[in-house]
Amino acid sequence: MELGLASSRGPAGPSLAVAGRRPRPSLSPPLPCPLSLQIQTRGYSMPTLHHKAHTTVGCQASVAAKYMETPDIVDLDWENLGFGLVDTDFMYMAKCGTDGNFSSGEIVPFGPIALSPSAGVLNYGQGLFEGLKAYRKTDGSVLLFRPEENAIRMKNGSDRMCMPAPTVEQFVDAVKQTVLANKRWVPPTGKGSLYIRPLLIGSGAILGLAPAPEYTFLIYVSPVGNYFKEGLAPINLIIEDNFHRAAPGGTGGVKTIGNYASVLKAQRTAKDKGYSDVLYLDAVHNKYLEEVSSCNIFVVKGNAISTPAIEGTILPGITRKSIIEVAESKGYKVEERHVSVDELLDADEVFCTGTAVVVSPVGSITYKGKRVEYDGNQGVGVVSQQLYTSLTSLQMGHTEDRMGWTMQLN
C-alpha cells in the first residue's frame, strides 16, 4: 500500500557536522564537492564510505563531514508523527545503462536529483516503486520485514514495464545500506517506523515512445506514524462505480507509478465528502471487489476470510500475503476468489491491508447511497484486532518470528 508522502519538514540542524543534516544549497555556482562519510554500525557490516557526491545530487559547496557522533535517535516529536515526508540524511543511488547491469550503487546525501525533461519516466511514465518498513526493537536494533518480497515484486513489475531491475541481492543490500545510513531516524519502539521507498525510473532521455536508455534505482526513507489519521480505528469507505482503478490486460497487478495518479480524483471527491478512501470494483462486471486506492481488502464471515484473487488487476500486496499466512496459521479458512458487493455488505467484518496501514478495520461501507456499518469493539472487529496484533508484534520484534520474515540489523 503506498501513496506519495505528504510533505513536512524535520527539525533543522545547526550545521552538517553537528546535526548530520545537509546545509541549505548555496546560490553560488556549483563547485566540486568531495564528501567523506564514515558511518559506524554494528551487526550488518557496512563498509566505510568514501564517496564523492553523485553528480545528480547537485552539491553546491565543498562539504566535508564525519558522521561519527550523531545522536542515536534524532530529536523529533515522535508522539505526533504522521504519515508525511521528513527529510533524512542519505539516500541510495545506482545507475543502469543499455547493457542491463546496474552499478554497485552508493550512499549520497538526500536531496534533489537531476533529470532531463525528456526522461522516460517524465514523458511516458516508465517507473516503479516499492514500500517497506524498518522498526526499532527495545534493544536498539532494527528489523526489516520481508525485503526480498519487495525485490521480487519490483523485478516482476520491471518485466511488464520493459525495464531492467536490480537483483534481489542488490535490492536487499541497498535497503540495508540506506537504513543503516539513516538509523538515527528510525522511530523509538512503538512510536512509528522508518518508511523505505525504493524507486526504479527511466532516467535516460528519450523522445520517441521506447524504453529509456538509462535507469536509476534510488532508495530514500522517512520516519512515519499512522497512514490513516484514525490509527487502529475504523475507516469509512465509499464504493466507486464510475471510475475504475485497473482493467484486464493493463498494469493493475504491478506497482507502476501511473496506477496511483489515476485514483486521486475519486479519492479527493470521497475525502471531501468525509470518507477515508475509495473501494473500487472490477471494470468488466462492475460488481466484484478489487482494491481500495492503495490497500487490499478482506471480508470476514464466520470463520471464513475472503479476499479478491490476484488475476492481473490487483496488486499482490506483501502485507496481504503475510496476513493470509498468519490467518491460516490461526485456523481461519482463507479464500482468494471473486468477492461480490453483496457479500461485502453482508459481512461480519471488513478490513484493509497494506504496508502503510498494516491492518485497517473498516467501520462502514457506503454504496449507492446506502451505508452499512460493522460492529466491533469501538468499530474494530475481533479478527482485525487479532491479525493486526499478531503481525505488528512480529514486525516489531515483540514475539518470536517463527515465519522467518524479519531481518535484523544490529
Angle between helix axes 147-160 and 318-329 (nearest 10 degrees) is: 130
Active-site residue flag, 265: no
Q: Please give the Cα distance from 47 to 61 (Å, whole number).
A: 26
Q: Residue 292 — very low, low, confident or very high, per pLDDT cuts 50/70/90? A: very high
Residue labelled with grid coordinates 526493537: 137
pLDDT in tens, 187-196: 999 899 999 9
The mean predicted confidence, pLDDT, of the chain is: 85
Which cell numbers hold the place of 235? Answer: 475507516
User: Over the stretch 64-103, which tens digit does the pLDDT of each residue have?
Assistant: 233 323 468 899 999 989 899 999 999 999 999 989 999 9
Backbone phi and psi for residue 50, each to the nearest 5 degrees, phi listed first: -130, 85
235-402: CATH topology is D-amino Acid Aminotransferase; Chain A, domain 2 (3.20.10)
pLDDT at 53 over 60: no
Cell of 275: 470518507
Is the pLDDT assigned to residue 311 strictly greater than 70? yes
Q: Could you tell me if 249 and 283 are in contact, meaning their C-beta atoms sit under 8 angstroms apart?
A: no
Q: Which of 155, 176, 183, 255 is catalytic?
A: 255
**pLDDT (tens digit per residue) in 329-365:** 999 999 999 999 999 999 999 999 999 889 999 999 9
Per DSSP, which regions of 62-189 are E strands?
A: 84-85, 90-96, 106-109, 127-129, 132-136, 142-145
Is pTM beyond 0.95? Reply is no
Q: Among the ranges 56-70, 110-124, 222-236, which has the highest mean pLDDT value?
A: 110-124
Half-sphere exposure of 72 (CA within 13 A, CB side): 8
Secondary structure of residue 15 in the 3-state scheme: coil
At residue 141, the 3 state secondary structure works out as: coil
C-alpha cell, 139: 534493544
pLDDT in tens, 123-135: 999 999 999 999 9
Whether residue 127 contacts residue 160, with contact meaning beta carbons closer than 8 Å, is answered with: no
Stretch 242-267: mean pLDDT, rounded? 95
Q: Given 3-state DSSP classes, what are the helix, strand and coil percentages for the chain, each rounded to the nearest 5?
A: 20, 30, 50
Res. 13 pLDDT band, cuts 50 70 90: very low
Distance CA 115, CA 112 (A): 10
Residues of the chain with CATH 3.20.10.10: 235-402
What is the spatial distance between Cα 193 and Cα 188, in angstroms, rounded to a whole number? Answer: 8
Boundaries of CATH 3.30.470.10 in the chain? Answer: 90-225
Tell me, letter by letter, the H, E, C secondary structure of 324-378: HHHHHHCCCEEEEECCEHHHHHCCCEEEEEECCCEEEEEEEEEECCEEEECCCEC
**How far is the C-alpha of 309 from the C-alpha of 369, rounded, in Å?**
27
Burial group, residue 327, by CB count within 10 angstroms (0-12, 13-18, 19+): buried
Location of C-alpha cell 506497482: 255
> Looking at residue 339, what is its pLDDT?
98
* Alpha-carbon gap, residue 24 to 148, rounded angstroms: 36
The answer as to CATH 3.30.750.24 being correct for domain 90-225 is: no
Residues with Cβ < 8 Å from 108, sequence gap 6 or more? 35, 51, 53, 54, 57, 90, 91, 92, 93
Amino acid at 87: D
Q: How far is CA 292 from each of CA 126, 221, 311, 372, rounded to the nearest angstrom?
A: 23, 24, 16, 17
